[in-house]
Each structure stands twice: as C-alpha cells, then as structure tokens.
Amino acid sequence: EIVLTQSPGTLSLSPGERATLSCRASQSVSSSYLAWYQHKPGQAPRLLIYGASSRATDIPDRFSGSGSGTDFTLTISRLEPEDFAVYFCQQFVSSPLRITFGQGTRLEIK
Amino acid sequence: QVQLVQSGAEVMQPGASLQLSCKASGYAFTTYGFSWVRQAPGQGLEWMGWVSAYNGNTYYAQTLQGRVTMTTDTSTTTAYMELRSLVSDDTAVYYCARDLGWTSGSYTYYLHHWGQGTLVTVSS
C-alpha cells in the first residue's frame, strides 16, 4: 500500500501570503494519480486538484498542483480568508483498487 | 446539479450492524462508482471501499474485508454501505463520494462529489 506523508502538519500564514503544502509518497504514484482536497469543519471535502496538476471544476486559479513520482505540491498563491482549512492528498491504484489519503495539513490563520 | 444525500445520524450498540444510504441525483447513475470514506474524531480520512453503480463490482479496504458490504440500487439511484460487528473505533463521520470518472481517456477514482456526511456513534 502506498503511504502518503504530508508536511507540514500545521502551517500558519496570513491572508495574502503564499502557501506551499507537500505530499510525499512511499513509492511512485502511477500516472500521477494524485489529488488534493480541501476540508472545512462540518462540511464535505472538496476536490481541488486531480492528476497532480489539473484544477477541478470551479476551483480558483490561485490553487495549483505540481509534482510527479513521489513528490507533489499544492500551492495557494495568495491566501484568501476562506482558504484556511485542512488539506488532504489522495492517490489510487486501480487493479485492485486501493485509495489512500495523507494525514492532512492544517492551514491556519497566523 | 449532482447531489448526494445521505441518511441521518445513527447511534449504534457494539456488535450491531449499520446500514447507511446515499441517494444520488442529477446525473446518469450507472456511469460512475461510489467510494465510502470515514473520518474518526481527530483523525484523517480513511477509504473504506468502492462499488460500481454499473455492475455492482466492489473493492474493499483490507482492514474492513469481511465486515463491510457495499451495494447500489439502480431503481432508486441509491448506494448503500453495511458495516457489521461494530466496535467503538467505528465511531466516525461517514461519507459517500462519487468518482470523477473518465478523464484523458482513463477512468479515475478521484472523489468529485460528496454527500453531506453521516455521524455514527458506537456506544453501549
């Protein structure tokens, strides 16, 4: 099973700053089958990025994803107040299907 | 628009069986599959398994194999998840989520649409 390790555990930044979140896989993620989600308390997670770098529908362009192999990054170029949340990365392998999540990075207001 | 509406909160006894539902609307039901994901208090997201709405094929997380069954009903466009022999560690918010599906020529298992979540408490 591929283990995803996210860092940092908590990131304290101010609105307007740039956020860089990391997701490292224990082995190479096939075809960059890596996604990022935003999760706010009391809400369902929201898909932000899939295929390592493609933005999902209606996701603002301040969110971008990059990386391949075992190292992936989510960047939020200029933080808005509504961006403070927990962010998870996710990968899958398809035969047989196995989906794993990172443990999350909490992005909090400094 | 796509909507997934889950059944309501449950309080369960240890050893009991749980069944949750996830009513889908706003798209062609059999085109996509569903994952079930849970989040225990203070923990991250845990994938529980996946069911195809097209043919009922399933994949389950190894940690839950033998205790979980996932099904769909195409007549009511509803996905179901049954979890048996409940223990206190099964206390969590449970989500159903629909696949993103076909992208760039491949079927993908990203979780595009989510239900609102169902709080399940296992306690005697």
Per CB-CB distance under 8 Å, the chain B contacts of A56 are 100, 112
Tell if the CB–CB gap between B116 and A44 is shorter than 8 Å. yes
Q: Do B45 and A31 touch (CB under 8 A)?
A: no
How many other CB atoms are there within 10 angstroms of residue B23's CB atom?
A: 16
Q: What angle do CA B40, B45, B46 make, to 5 degrees?
A: 85
Q: Residue A85 and residue B51: Cα distance in Å, rounded?
A: 29
pLDDT value of position A13: 97
The answer to whether the CB atoms of A101 and B35 lie below 8 A apart is: no
In A10-29, the residues whose Cβ lies within 8 Å of chain B are none
The predicted-structure confidence for B69-102, as pLDDT tens digits, reads as follows 999 999 999 999 999 999 999 999 999 999 999 9
| Chain A residues with beta carbon closer than 8 angstroms to that of B50 | 97, 99
CA distance B7 to chain A (A): 14
Answer whether B111 sits within 8 Å of A46, measured CB to CB.
Answer: no
Let me know how long chain B is: 124
List CB contacts (< 8 A) between A35 and chain B. 110-111
Omega before A60 within 30 of 0, i.e. cis: no
- CB distance A92–B106 less than 8 Å? no
Q: Is pLDDT at A31 greater than 90 in this prediction?
A: no
Inter-chain touch A97–B59, beta carbons under 8 Å: yes
Pairing between strand B10-12 and B68-73? unpaired
Cite the beta strand spans of A1-110 per DSSP E.
4-7, 10-13, 19-25, 34-39, 46-50, 54-55, 63-68, 71-76, 86-94, 97-101, 105-109
CB A40 within 8 A of CB A34: no
Q: Tell me whether the omega of the peptide bond preceding residue A96 falls within 30 degrees of 0, making it cis.
A: yes
Tell me the per-residue pLDDT of A61-78, one tens digit each, with 9 for 90 and over: 999 999 999 999 999 999
Instruction: State pLDDT tens for residues A2-13.
Output: 999 999 999 999
pLDDT in tens, chain B (124 residues): 999 999 999 999 999 999 999 999 999 999 999 999 999 999 999 999 999 999 999 999 999 989 999 999 999 999 999 999 999 999 999 999 999 999 888 999 999 999 999 999 999 9
Q: Which amino acid is at B63?
A: T
* Chain B residues touching residue A45 (CB < 8 angstroms): 45, 95, 97, 111, 114
Q: Which residues pair with A21 in a beta bridge?
A: A74
CB contact under 8 A, A50 and B44: no
